[in-house]
Amino acid sequence: MTVSLVLADGTSFKGESFGYNQPVSGELVFNTAMAGYPEILTEPASRGQLIVMTYPVIGNYGIQPMSADENGLPTNAESEHAQARALIVSDKSDFYSHWNAAESLEEWMKREKVVGIEGVDTRELTKHIRNHGSMTAKILFDGKQKPAEYAYTNMLPEVSVKEPVTYNEGGAKTVVLVDCGVKAGVVRCLINEDLKVVRVPWNYNYSKIKMDGLVISDGPGNPSYCSEVVTALQKFMAKNDTPILGIGMGCLLLGLAGGMDTYKLKFGHHTQNQPVQLVGTDRCYITTQNHNYAIREDSVVGQWKVYLKNLNDGSVEGIYNTRKPWVGVMFHSESDQVSTDAEFIYDDFVSKL
Amino acid sequence: MALKKYKKVLLLGSGALKIGEAGEFDYSGSQALKALKEEGIETILINPNIATVQTSEGVADRVYFYPVTPFFVEKVIAKERPDAILLAFGGQTALNCGVALEQSGVLAKYKVKVLGTQVKAIMDTEDRDLFIKRLDEIGVQTIKSHAVETMDDARAAARELGYPVIIRSAYALGGLGSGFCDNEEELNKLAEKSFSFSPQILVEKSLKGWKEIEFECVNDKSGNSIIVCSMENFDPLGIHTGESIVVAPTQTLTHHEVQKLEELTIRIARHVGIVGECNIQFAFDPQSEDYRVIEVNARLSRSSALASKATGYPLAFVACKLGLGYNLYELKNSITKDTTDFFEPSVDYVVCKIPRWDLSKFHGVDREIGSSMKSVGEVMSIGRSFEEVIQKGIRMIGQGMHGFVENKSIKFADLDKALKEPTDKRLFAISQAFSEGYSIDRIYELTKIDKWFLNRLKGIVDLSKQLHKVKGIDALGEDLLRKAKKMGFSDFQIARAIGEEKKLGTQAGLLAVRNKRKSLGIVPYVKQIDTLGGEYQAKENYLYMTYNGCAHDIPFFDDKKSIIVIGSGAYRIGSSVEFDWCGVQALNTVRKEGYRNIVINCNPETVSTDYDVTDRLFFDELTFERVMDIIELENPYGVIVSTGGQIPNNLAMKLDAMNVPILGTSAKDIDNAEDREKFSAMLDRIGVDQPEWSELTSMKEIGKFIDKVGFPVLVRPSYVLSGAAMNVCSNQEELERFLQLAAEVSKEHPVVVSRFIENAKEVEMDAVAKDGEIIAYAISEHIEFAGVHSGDATIQFPPQKLYVETVKRIKRISRQIAKELHISGPFNIQYLARENDIKVIECNLRASRSFPFVSKVLKINLIEIATKIMLGIPVEAPEKSLFDIDYVGIKASQFSFNRLQKADPVLGVDMASTGEVGCLGDDQRYAILESMLSVGYRIPKKNILLSTGTAKQKASMLDAAKMLSSNGFNIYATGGTSKYLEENGVPNTRVYWPSEEGQQPQALDMLHNKQIDMVVNIPKDLTQHELTNGYKIRRAAIDLNIPLITNARLASSFINAFCTVNIDDIPIKSWDSFK
């Protein structure tokens, strides 16, 4: 079935629908990862997004079984369910081939209610987003009602746990993880550091929990909609010297709590190849990112310093406090146990606990 | 940051192109030299490969055309005293040479610092034992392998591991001497051969059927690492990566799996101590996440050239800068110009590399592909679906196939065998299997090619079936046509499928499809390669075309200021780096003259496809269809078809018919030279002689013709390059057998038979003319008599032994021909000369293989002059001519018979060499020695085996034999030769042919026992007998790595040179100091 993708500025692209058949609206972003569609679609930071994959052939290895590991964390995915609303590709593989595949991408998308379009010139679409900035868009089906306009809201209630969950009960130290839409991979990294992780809802009052450190997680949306988290954090920071680590959205929230400003990037960072440099050193890291906002560099003042910078666009990729053990970084770990350079962030954090 | 300043850096090239080490090192070396130049560092290059771009003027500050061996490199170091050396840009040749120089203390003695990855790290990756030990230290799994140094240990290791096993030689390029053994008998054979290349061989458990995955990794001195490209072999492990179709990025691995291997790659690169670039190959279990590291290449490689072209990341350039001490983040991305080089490219297209084999050129060669490389070149296709790239790639290979389907010529009788035991034709076995209804599962069982690829291929066959149901162009629906184009079908494939080819013929059929699709707006779109998946704007126009798109990335200027140069395509026997040199010279000249230069080419090993050589690089097909697509968009001032060898030349007529402005000699005149009938009539008209010939229409007619001229005769089709399917037939039986093969080659052009003239000299005229007037020329002389293909012959320039009258006549005839064909641009004429009797044997109105050689010896860039003429810019005839040169250049050929199991290493009218070198000397003997040593010959120590053919050849070798004897060499000779030498007073020891069983000593035994240092084996005639005595001796020499010469005149020249010149006395002179 031919469907249209209509952008907020009126531009439209045609393609064939696959997956779930229903008109939908959302924020249109492109992702330049060449593999990893299951992770990208299930990552809470993708909430509400219509994702354009710039790599043209998607679905080759199907979907690996998504169940729960011994900690109750989802396997082969960043959360239990799809978070993105739509997937836009050039060429979708109907046939998949992988020893550990459970089903095809399309079958999974149908069940998870993710709308798909194939046959789109995703490069042309990506260039449009690059030139005009990320914007909302709708997917329209002939003869079906138009979807409601996409509204930017605070998405944390949708992606956060409802009740506190504790992982790795016997861990050496305890951290509280404020779940703003945390990736399973981040939780795993913390567990791998032998931490007891108390994952709490985004609006939970964690100030009374006995802890060695506080982690503000990654997550979707605009940080300025999350003033509740920022206020709670400011209160906590005023009373405690507890080490804090902010990741992705968590970094932005930490920045806001520290008095900095955030702004929307033209088309965000949604790739697995963002180069960042540890300021003042020769050390650089390739990082995975999925967010639309950044901290304004000229607002990093006083006790705060820029920790890492993006080598491509110069944006702030990390901040730290010169007096307190508080650090925020805009990238996050991958879902698996494969260690990458960027994990030094966790090691550093743990060493401060 | 403070960089250590280097003043003078020496770069080692890779020498002649050979199987396993080809044009990719011209590209990487050129990039490194460019990087050094940018830093203001003086550059010295040693590379005898005179046809390369890197040895052109203006690339390195000084070029030495000498063998890349420790002996000569030390001499250059002593002379130039560089403060640093680069070893990673000249393939295994440079690496091995560098390791030897380090070990012998030469580098320390002259205080030459190795830039980038250090020799110790190189040795850690090259020596299997060390390699495994180093990887064990970081818990990385390698293939369980036993390094052995004796046959007994090899057998014991294999028994312990269990068959099948794989054998590899340490320190050998491209899997030389490697292979699989299913049992002890096979092991005995292969191990012996491998030991001849290397003192140590490895016996490993075979992991046949696993996937092969490669990564290119870059590491700087601060430990910053990036993965530039992931690649997946379409063919399973067991087929050498150089023999495999390779796709980038990986298609069938999950993100987790890719990450896992990437992490291993970086861990390894850091642990070994890579500063620069390295390539790591993994075996990957298709049923779990189990892996083994196959090998680590601590240098630029074929794969890194491919990765550079696949991603737009200039690996060699960056690696060189890192060697100088830069950090990655300090370098700028050369495509976007404002992002950093510290990033991992993201591609938004699919890339497919397909190897090109020329196995049909070799008699008796084993066609199976496996763990040893046999391919001579490769192409890379870019598109936005796998179907599109595989079909494009198959066409790019240029062997008459139209894609995955709609090919006529191939039919496998035993299909299961063709699938199970892969040959160079395996793709077409898969195609046939799908058409015959094989399931994906069954093909997978037979081939072990991942089902994902197979499913995509099946889709192409299914669509072809749909097309076959359509009866004619009018019945062809828009949707189906569009779908076919998206799946990479060419207009011709569609025309054939719907019956239009049959109805209208090839060209009219495809034009009917073309017109229809254009009227429906079904056209390909131009996309840029930007390294970042569209995230940042590309400033370079590195382009490809796809039907899976809806808009162009670039604007087109209708200003008639663009010139398109059509490239030479895949390297193959007969068309290789020399045409890339020609193309690059033409492109440079076009740019210098103020035009936008545009190239179309599809060969990732080339410099012409380096995006900063051109304003627009179309990395795409060289088919009529695609070239027209580009011309229609670019609307250029003109198109140059005369610098890319035969491929563009063959397009001339078709483009002309579409009113494309072809620069230089007109298409009609090109055809007048290409069409034998027309050409011959012209020669008759202007009174120029040629060997008698006749066009083949029936066997009866040929019989009559041969009655007149007698055997031997030369048989060939009219459009030829490198003597494809050309052969000399000495008798009726050979003639009949050969014609059955040749008739398949070309249906559009008739086969001709001509008288073959023996004992004649062959002379080449390379020239440039303007409006029929010769402006500049070079006459060169073959050392061998006619009968050895000009691409295989040893050529001297200026000629050393031609009569003045011969030269005069050749000039006169060339002038007549240039005038008659109104030549404007480059051309080449080949002559036969016996006494002063001159005959024309071939004429090409395009640059020839020898253009770079004569241009560089003469120091007059013939292509630059030709290009100016084609652009209509006034040129003056150069003042200097070949008669002013006081030195001589020798072009010698490089053969790769050692890679081509079972092939008879004998030379004939069909070209067999894979590369060439050109060396200069004030004395002809210097140049002979330098060039022969450059192509792998060694000066024999003591013992020489002679069997010198017919009585005439024996006589012509007599002086050389006497010289050997008086210089203290021991001559061993087979029966007839021994007797002849005896009669002429040359002491020798008789040895026996394999057929002379029971007699001692046996020639073969002596070879096997390493008692012979050089073999001269002259076949009795020019026919190729398999499994004769001569074949066995020749083949054994090749397999045991003993220098072999099969031509009496070349042998005499070489023997004369090493008997009268001490290699130590050869002066070491850079190119510019030959005046």
Reported as a single tens digit per residue, the pLDDT across B85-106 is 999 999 999 999 999 999 999 9
Kindly state whether B222 is in contact with chain A, defined as any CB-CB distance less than 8 angstroms. Answer: yes
Residue A83 placed within a domain: yes
Q: Helix or strand or coil: residue A315?
A: coil
Crossing angle, helix B315-323 and helix B302-311, to 10 degrees? Answer: 110
Question: What is the structure's pLDDT at B215?
Answer: 97
Tens-place pLDDT, residues A259-306: 999 999 999 999 888 999 999 999 999 998 999 999 999 999 999 999
Percent of chain A with pLDDT over 90: 89
Question: What is the structure's pLDDT at B2?
Answer: 53
Residues A167 and A239 in one domain: yes
pTM, whole model, 2 decimals? 0.94
What average pLDDT does the segment B551-572 reach? 96
Residue B910 placed within a domain: no
Beta strands (DSSP E) in B468-581 are 525-528, 542-546, 562-566
Residues B981 and B940 in one domain: yes
| Window from B124-128, B259-263, B445-449 with minimum mean pLDDT | B124-128
To 5 degrees, how large is the angle CA B534–CA A35–CA A344? 95
Whole-complex ipTM: 0.96
Q: Which of B258, B288, B386 sits opposite A35 (nearest CB)?
A: B258
- Please determine, for residue B7, whether its predicted confidence score (pLDDT) is greater than 90: yes
Rounded-to-integer distance, Cα B971 and Cα B1003, Å = 12
B343-372 residues touching A, CB cutoff 8 A? 343-350
Pick the last residue of a domain from B878, B908, B928.
B878
Backbone torsions φ then ψ of B159, nearest 5 degrees: -65, -40
C-alpha dist (Å) from residue B1064 to A189, B74, B926, B1067: 65, 12, 11, 8
Residues B481 and B566 in one domain: no
Domain of residue A217, CATH code? 3.40.50.880
Question: What is the structure's pLDDT at B584?
Answer: 97
Higher pLDDT among residues B400 and B512, named by residue:
B512
What average pLDDT does the segment B825-845 reach? 95
Tokens of B169: 């030689």
Residues A318 and A193 in one domain: yes
Question: What is the structure's pLDDT at B1021?
Answer: 61
For residue B722, name the pLDDT band (cuts at 50, 70, 90): very low
Tens-place pLDDT, residues B467-514: 999 999 999 999 999 999 999 999 999 999 999 999 999 999 999 999
Kindly state whether B209 is in contact with chain A, defined as any CB-CB distance less than 8 angstroms. Answer: no
Residue A76 placed within a domain: yes
Kindly state whether A123 is in contact with chain B, defined as any CB-CB distance less than 8 angstroms. Answer: yes
Residue B891 placed within a domain: no
Q: Which of A56, A95, A284 sits opposite B348 (nearest CB)?
A: A56
Q: Which of B258, B266, B536 sits opposite A312 (nearest CB)?
A: B536
Residues A262 and A347 in one domain: yes
- Please determine, for residue B198, whether its predicted confidence score (pLDDT) is greater than 90: no
Q: Which domain covers residue A189, as residue numbers?
A: 156-352
User: H-type helices in A217-339, by residue range?
Assistant: 227-239, 249-257
Tens-place pLDDT, residues A21-77: 999 999 999 999 999 999 999 999 999 999 999 999 999 999 999 999 999 999 999
Residue B217 placed within a domain: no
Domain of residue B484, CATH code? 1.10.1030.10
Question: What is the structure's pLDDT at B881?
Answer: 84
- Please determine, for residue B723, whether its predicted confidence score (pLDDT) is greater than 90: no
Residues B745 and B611 in one domain: no
Beta strand B825-834 with B761-770 is: antiparallel
Q: How far does chain B reach from its first CA to its final CA, in angstroms?
A: 43
Q: Do A284 and B328 touch (CB under 8 A)?
A: yes
B343 contacts in chain A (CB < 8 Å): 273, 275, 286, 311-312
> Is the CB of residue B1066 less than 8 Å from the CB of residue B949?
no
Say which amino acid occupies B57: E
Kindly state whether A42 is in contact with chain B, defined as any CB-CB distance less than 8 angstroms. Answer: no
For residue B263, name the pLDDT band (cuts at 50, 70, 90): very high
**Chain B: nearest CA to A263, how far in angstroms?**
19
A127 contacts in chain B (CB < 8 Å): 534, 553
Say which amino acid occupies B377: G
Residue A82 placed within a domain: yes
- Please determine, for residue B746, whether its predicted confidence score (pLDDT) is greater than 50: no
Residues A136 and A164 in one domain: no
Rounded-to-integer distance, Cα B148 and Cα B263, Å = 31
Pick the last residue of a domain from A116, A141, A166.
A141
Higher pLDDT among residues B630 and B205, named by residue:
B630
C-alpha dist (Å) from residue B960 to B620, B964, B1049: 51, 6, 10
Question: What is the structure's pLDDT at B163?
Answer: 84
Question: What is the structure's pLDDT at B1028?
Answer: 81
Query: Which residues touch B194 (CB under 8 Å, ≥6 apart)?
Result: B167, B168, B169, B177, B178, B201
Residues B821 and B948 in one domain: no
Number of folded domains that form chain A = 2
What average pLDDT does the segment B192-203 reach? 84
Residues A295 and A195 in one domain: yes
Residue B186 placed within a domain: yes
Residues B653 and B726 in one domain: no
Sole residue written with tokens 């066609």: B367
Rounded-to-integer distance, Cα B988 and Cα B1010, Å = 18
What residues of chain A score a pLDDT lower than 50? none
Backbone torsions φ then ψ of B619, nearest 5 degrees: -85, 85
| Window from B186-200, B810-824, B995-1009 with minimum mean pLDDT | B186-200
Candidates B266, B291, B452: best to mutate against A (most CBs of A within 10 A) is B452
B310 contacts in chain A (CB < 8 Å): none
Q: Do A96 and B452 touch (CB under 8 A)?
A: yes
Residues A121 and A170 in one domain: no
Question: Which of B849, B848, B850, B829 is closest to B840 using CA atoms?
Answer: B829
Residue positions counted in chain B: 1075
Percent of chain B with pLDDT over 70: 96
Domain of residue B1053, CATH code? 3.40.50.1380
Residue A146 placed within a domain: no
A344 contacts in chain B (CB < 8 Å): none
Rounded-to-integer distance, Cα A272 and Cα A280, Å = 24
Residue A272 placed within a domain: yes
A283 contacts in chain B (CB < 8 Å): 222-224
Domain of residue B191, CATH code? 3.30.1490.20
| Window from B271-275, B430-434, B749-753, B819-823 with minimum mean pLDDT | B749-753
Mean pLDDT, rounded, of chain B: 92
Residues A218 and A122 in one domain: no
Kindly state whether B439 is in contact with chain A, defined as any CB-CB distance less than 8 angstroms. Answer: no
Residues B708 and B740 in one domain: yes
Rounded-to-integer distance, Cα B189 and Cα B708, Å = 49
Question: What is the structure's pLDDT at B1025?
Answer: 52
Residue A148 placed within a domain: no
Kindly state whether A16 is in contact with chain B, defined as any CB-CB distance less than 8 angstroms. Answer: no
Classify residue B5 by its DSSP letter. P
Q: Helix or strand or coil: residue B7?
A: coil
What average pLDDT does the segment B427-444 reach? 97
Residue A151 placed within a domain: no
Query: Which residues touch A198 (CB under 8 Å, ≥6 apart)?
Result: A164, A165, A166, A174, A175, A176, A177, A206, A209, A211
Tens-place pLDDT, residues B922-948: 999 999 999 999 999 999 999 999 999
Residues B944 and B1013 in one domain: yes
Residue B458: count other Cβ atoms within 10 Å of its Cβ.
Answer: 20
Nearest CA in chain B to A314: B339
- Please determine, for residue B743, whether its predicted confidence score (pLDDT) is greater than 60: no
Crossing angle, helix B676-686 and helix B667-674, to 10 degrees? Answer: 90
B386 contacts in chain A (CB < 8 Å): 57
Question: Which of B451, B509, B520 is closest to B485 using CA atoms?
Answer: B520
Residue B317 placed within a domain: no
**Backbone φ/ψ region at B171: left (φ over 0), alpha (ψ -120 to 50), beta:** left
Question: What is the structure's pLDDT at B720?
Answer: 42
Residue B916 placed within a domain: no
DSSP letters along A163-203, please?
S-EEE-TT-SEEEEEEESS--HHHHHHHHHTTEEEEEEETT
Number of folded domains that form chain B = 7
Rounded-to-integer distance, Cα B37 and Cα B435, Å = 55
Question: What is the structure's pLDDT at A333?
Answer: 66
Tens-place pLDDT, residues B366-375: 888 888 899 9
Pick the last residue of a domain from B855, B878, B901.
B878
Q: Which of A30, A124, A271 sits opposite B549 (nearest CB)?
A: A124
Tokens of A303: 């006790």
Kindly state whether B703 is in contact with chain A, defined as any CB-CB distance less than 8 angstroms. Answer: no
Residue B746: count other Cβ atoms within 10 Å of its Cβ.
Answer: 17
Classify residue B763 by its DSSP letter. E
Rounded-to-integer distance, Cα B174 and Cα B187, Å = 20
Residue B158 placed within a domain: yes
Residues B872 and B941 in one domain: no
What average pLDDT does the segment B44-49 reach? 98
Residues B771 and B721 in one domain: no
Classify residue B21 by its DSSP letter. B
Residues B719 and B769 in one domain: no
Say which amino acid occupies B881: S
Pick the last residue of a domain from A141, A172, A202.
A141
Q: Do A311 and B1 touch (CB under 8 A)?
A: no
Tokens of B696: 């083949």
Question: Which of B274, B18, B57, B37 is closest to B859 using CA atoms?
Answer: B57
Residue B167 placed within a domain: yes
Question: Which of B580, B600, B660, B590 is closest to B871 using CA atoms?
Answer: B590
What average pLDDT does the segment B881-885 reach? 85
Residues A313 and A220 in one domain: yes
Question: What is the structure's pLDDT at B1043?
Answer: 96
Residues A217 and A274 in one domain: yes
Pick the last residue of a domain from A117, A141, A165.
A141
Residues B363 and B427 in one domain: yes
Query: Which residues touch B748 (CB under 8 Å, ≥6 apart)?
Result: B506
Residues A60 and A186 in one domain: no
B534 contacts in chain A (CB < 8 Å): 30, 32, 54, 123, 126-127, 130
Residues B423 and B554 in one domain: no
Percent of chain B with pLDDT over 90: 79
Nearest CA in chain A to B383: A56
Domain of residue A44, CATH code? 3.50.30.20
Residues A185 and A278 in one domain: yes
Residues A214 and A293 in one domain: yes
Q: Which domain covers residue B101, as residue numbers?
A: 8-117
Question: What is the structure's pLDDT at B107?
Answer: 97
For residue B718, name the pLDDT band (cuts at 50, 70, 90): low
